[in-house]
Amino acid sequence: MRYGPEHKARTRRRILREARRLFRRDGYDGVSLDAVMSAAGLTRGGFYKHFGSKADLFAEATAGEADFVRRLKAREGANRAALARGALEVVSGYLHPANRERVGRGCDLAALSVDVARSGVRARRHHTAKVRALLDELERGLPDARTPDPRALVSVALCVGGLTVARALTDPDLAEALLGACRDAAERELLG
């Protein structure tokens, strides 16, 4: 039975959804094509109808808007001060200890930065676009912002870096202290 283009597109989206989740949770090297296809409810044989290689799948899985950026875009505010307060709420949620445990559903900026750095140029371009979008959103709430604004750059490093390091720790108290320190420092940067 031949399937139409919409079926193929839905199948491809399902593969990508599961690949994103698995890559965030297990990293590039920790994910096999068999695992991706099984999670998508498909057999490995169908993989190459959609992607040329695991590297191609990874590059495409890194595309799209980061959840962190999506949350910042959704904040409401009629002026910079309101946007800054909204950004602080988003940053506080991002650096919350519970977010540390949501690797498979969490931010691919924090979950995949190391893997992306080792990958091809397509994945790195997607990652760069996400970081630029994150900077743009943080800069919207900064008085006298310039592009790139050092306060936004530091805040990105504190958020993404802090969450990345906290996820690697086995000591939950230390991880919580690290996230709290990053949250406080980001607040100082964003409120200036």
pLDDT tens digits, one per residue of 93-111 = 999 999 988 876 788 999 9
Domain annotation covers residue 151: yes
Contacts of 61 (CB under 8 A, 6+ apart): 16, 19, 20, 23
Structural domain of 10: 5-53
Q: How many separate domains does the chain show?
A: 2
Mean pLDDT of 56-83: 93
CATH number, residue 30 = 1.10.10.60
99 and 177 together in one domain: yes
- Tokens 């839905």 appear where? 10
pLDDT for residue 63 is more than 70: yes
Share of the chain above pLDDT 70, in %: 98
31 and 89 together in one domain: no
SS (H, E, C) the chain: CCCCHHHHHHHHHHHHHHHHHHHHHHCCCCCCHHHHHHHCCCCHHHHHHCCCCHHHHHHHHCCCCCHHHHHHHHCCCCCHHHHHHHHHHHHHHHCCHHHHCCCCCCCHHHHHHHHHHCCCHHHHHHHHHHHHHHHHHHHCCCCCCCCCCHHHHHHHHHHHHHHHHHHHCCCHHHHHHHHHHHHHHHHHHHHC
Domain annotation covers residue 117: yes
Radius of gyration of the chain from Cα atoms? 18
Largest CA distance in the chain: 62
pLDDT for residue 121 is more than 90: yes
pTM listed for this prediction? 0.90
pLDDT for residue 18 is more than 90: yes
Domain annotation covers residue 101: yes
Domain annotation covers residue 62: no
Structure tokens at 181: 């320190």
